[in-house]
């Protein structure tokens, strides 16, 4: 039999192990404003609803010993915590999980158990954060508090998925605040826990989910007939869909929602004119100009259903003058 002896350099093994361990270790980076600061920490005790004001020291990624977050678990004091994992959800929202530095045991064969704090933070300003503890109240520790206390036979790994492992709860937690000494920023009155754990919760900016367009009449006089929709033909739009039909002048709603509709008119020299903005057969608003190049305009916001038809109908008059006549639709606005 022929075989080779492969010489393995023990140093290489050590280096590989080190590299491996840095890759697989969970890491935590707290929001920069939170780090290395002593905070005024206000909360309501979950066991007796007493309001508490204390201080919470956060070093780079730890709540150092003799932290105000302190429990007694079967005789063992847990008052030092190290962040093991974080989740950044937006510029203001993040979740961080802290693990107790000490472990406790519930008997000679009980193994080592640790506690975990799952904090969902919202930054209000650099001087003010609020957070929720995303666990149910554990009655086996004193004082009773919202911590994750896994049984000895299912100790999670630090790198396990943060929300689904460490941040489970059934009863709604209460808000807690962290404020820098000497500052006066206040928590917004609508501050609330946004769920689930991995949701960024920020109010989305108003966005137009549909599209926007503006159409005008061409230069010169456009003859119009009473009772008919005006056919605005020159379309200035980055995002015209098939909803507006320039051959009929009718806009057919594709997506239900709130729309902004705007019409301006100029009747020129021939006759005074009335126009109406209509939803299906219903008149929404009127426009009127005299026959000396006056202008009128209307802008409305309206909730529309799919297949509603919006048009601008002539109620009196015989012609309109030039590109001063516009028809714009924007929506749906969320
Ligand atoms: C942890 O926080 C840092 C700093 O905010 C961020 O860059 C990183 O993406 C976060 N990790 C996760 C998994 O979101």
Report residue 4's pLDDT band, with 50, 70 and 90 as the boundaries: very low
**pLDDT (mean) for 274-288:** 96
Task: Tell me what pLDDT residue 210 has.
Answer: 64
- CA proximity to 117, closest of 134, 139, 142: 134
In the chain, what are the domain boundaries? 27-180, 208-333
- CA proximity to 133, closest of 122, 149, 117: 117
Measured distance CA(108)–CA(77) in Å, rounded = 18
Task: Tell me what pLDDT residue 20 has.
Answer: 43
Strand pairing report for 81-88 and 76-78: unpaired
Contact (CB, 8 A) for 116 and 96: no
Task: Tell me what pLDDT residue 89 has.
Answer: 93
Task: Tell me what pLDDT residue 171 has.
Answer: 93
Please give the distance, rounded to the nearest whole angstrom, from the Cα atom of residue 88 to the centre of ligand 1.
5
Which of the listed residues 25, 29, 61, 159 should we mutate to test ligand 1's pocket, taking the one with most ligand atoms within 8 A of CB? 29
Instruction: State which ligand 1 atom lies nearest to the alpha carbon of 87.
Output: 14
Task: Tell me what pLDDT residue 192 has.
Answer: 86
Please give the distance, rounded to the nearest whole angstrom, from the Cα atom of residue 25 to the centre of ligand 1.
14
Verify whether ligand 1 is closer than 6 Å to residue 85 (CB atom).
no
Verify whether ligand 1 is closer than 6 Å to residue 87 (CB atom).
yes
Look at the domain 208-333 and name its fold.
Jelly Rolls (2.60.120)
Burial (0-12, 13-18, 19+ Cβ within 10 Å), 95: buried
Report residue 21's pLDDT band, with 50, 70 and 90 as the boundaries: very low
Instruction: State which ligand 1 atom lies nearest to the alpha carbon of 31.
Output: 5
- Assess whether pLDDT exceeds 60 at residue 39: yes
Task: Tell me what pLDDT residue 238 has.
Answer: 56
Verify whether ligand 1 is closer than 6 Å to residue 88 (CB atom).
yes
Tokens found for residue 117: 């704090």
pLDDT higher for 201 or 206?
Answer: 201
Verify whether ligand 1 is closer than 6 Å to residue 90 (CB atom).
no
Please give the distance, rounded to the nearest whole angstrom, from the Cα atom of residue 29 to the centre of ligand 1.
6
- Assess whether pLDDT exceeds 50 at residue 205: no
Measured distance CA(99)–CA(10) in Å, rounded = 33
- Assess whether pLDDT exceeds 60 at residue 126: yes
Residue of minimum CA distance from atom 3 in ligand 1: 29
pLDDT higher for 270 or 145?
Answer: 145
Task: Tell me what pLDDT residue 1 has.
Answer: 43
Average pLDDT, the chain: 88
Residue of minimum CA distance from atom 4 in ligand 1: 29
Please give the distance, rounded to the nearest whole angstrom, from the Cα atom of residue 184 to the centre of ligand 1.
28
Summarize pLDDT for 162-173 with one digit per residue, the tens: 999 999 999 999
Residue of minimum CA distance from atom 14 in ligand 1: 87
Task: Tell me what pLDDT residue 2 has.
Answer: 46
Please give the distance, rounded to the nearest whole angstrom, from the Cα atom of residue 96 to the centre of ligand 1.
10
Contact (CB, 8 A) for 273 and 317: yes
- Assess whether pLDDT exceeds 50 at residue 206: no
**pLDDT (mean) for 250-265:** 93
Please give the distance, rounded to the nearest whole angstrom, from the Cα atom of residue 46 to the centre of ligand 1.
29
Residue of minimum CA distance from atom 12 in ligand 1: 87
Summarize pLDDT for 52-92 with one digit per residue, the tens: 999 999 999 999 999 999 999 999 999 999 999 999 999 99
Please give the distance, rounded to the nearest whole angstrom, from the Cα atom of residue 85 to the centre of ligand 1.
9
Report residue 3's pLDDT band, with 50, 70 and 90 as the boundaries: very low
Task: Tell me what pLDDT residue 12 has.
Answer: 46
- Assess whether pLDDT exceeds 70 at residue 119: yes
Report residue 182's pLDDT band, with 50, 70 and 90 as the boundaries: very high
3-state secondary structure the chain: CCCCCCCCCHHHHHHHHHHHHHHHCCCCCCCCCCCCEEEEEEEECCCCCCEEEEEEEECCCEECCCCCCCEEECCEEECCEEEEEEEECCCCEEEEEEEECCCECCCCCCCCECCEEEEEEEEEECCEEEEEECCCEECCEECCEECECCCHHHCCCCCCCHHHHHCCCCCCCCCEEEEECCCCCCCCCCCCCCCCCCCCCCCCCCCEEEEEEEEECCCCEEECCCCCECCCCEEECCCCCCCEECCCCEEECCCCEEEEEEEEEECCCCCCEEEEEEECCEEEEEEEECCCCCEEEEEEEEEECCCCEEEEEEEECCEEEHHHCEEEEEEEEC
Please give the distance, rounded to the nearest whole angstrom, from the Cα atom of residue 290 to the centre of ligand 1.
63
The residue written with tokens 């959800």 in the block is 89
Summarize pLDDT for 99-113 with one digit per residue, the tens: 999 999 987 777 889
């Amino acid at each position: 039999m022929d075989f080779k002896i492969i010489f393995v350099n023990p140093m290489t093994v050590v280096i590989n192990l080190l590299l491996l361990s840095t890759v697989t270790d969970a890491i935590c980076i707290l929001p920069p404003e939170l780090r290395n600061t002593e905070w005024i920490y206000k909360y309501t005790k979950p066991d007796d609803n007493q309001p508490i004001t204390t201080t919470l020291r956060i070093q780079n990624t730890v709540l150092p010993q003799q932290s105000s977050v302190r429990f007694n678990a079967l005789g063992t004091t847990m008052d030092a915590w190290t962040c093991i994992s974080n989740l950044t959800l937006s510029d203001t929202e993040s979740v961080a999980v802290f693990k107790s530095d000490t472990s406790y045991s519930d008997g000679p064969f009980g193994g080592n158990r640790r506690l975990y704090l799952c904090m969902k933070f919202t930054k209000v300003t650099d001087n003010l954060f609020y957070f929720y503890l995303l666990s149910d109240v554990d009655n086996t520790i004193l004082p009773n508090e919202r911590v994750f206390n896994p049984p000895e036979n299912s100790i999670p790994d630090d790198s396990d998925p943060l929300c689904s492992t460490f941040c489970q709860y059934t009863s709604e937690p209460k808000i807690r605040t962290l404020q820098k000494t000497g500052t006066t920023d206040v928590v917004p009155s609508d501050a609330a826990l946004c769920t689930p754990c991995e949701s960024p919760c920020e109010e989305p900016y108003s966005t137009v989910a549909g599209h926007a367009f503006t159409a005008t009449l061409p230069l010169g006089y456009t003859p119009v007939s009473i009772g008919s929709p005006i056919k605005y033909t020159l379309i200035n739009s980055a995002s015209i869909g098939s909803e507006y039909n320039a051959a009929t002048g009718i806009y057919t709603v594709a997506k239900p929602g709130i729309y902004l509709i705007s019409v301006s008119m100029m009747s020129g020299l021939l006759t005074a004119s009335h126009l109406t903005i209509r939803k299906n057969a219903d008149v929404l608003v009127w426009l009127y100009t005299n026959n000396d190049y006056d202008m009128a305009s209307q802008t409305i916001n309206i909730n529309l259903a799919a297949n509603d038809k919006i048009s601008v109908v002539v109620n009196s008059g015989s012609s309109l003058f030039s590109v001063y006549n516009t028809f714009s639709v924007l929506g749906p606005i969320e």
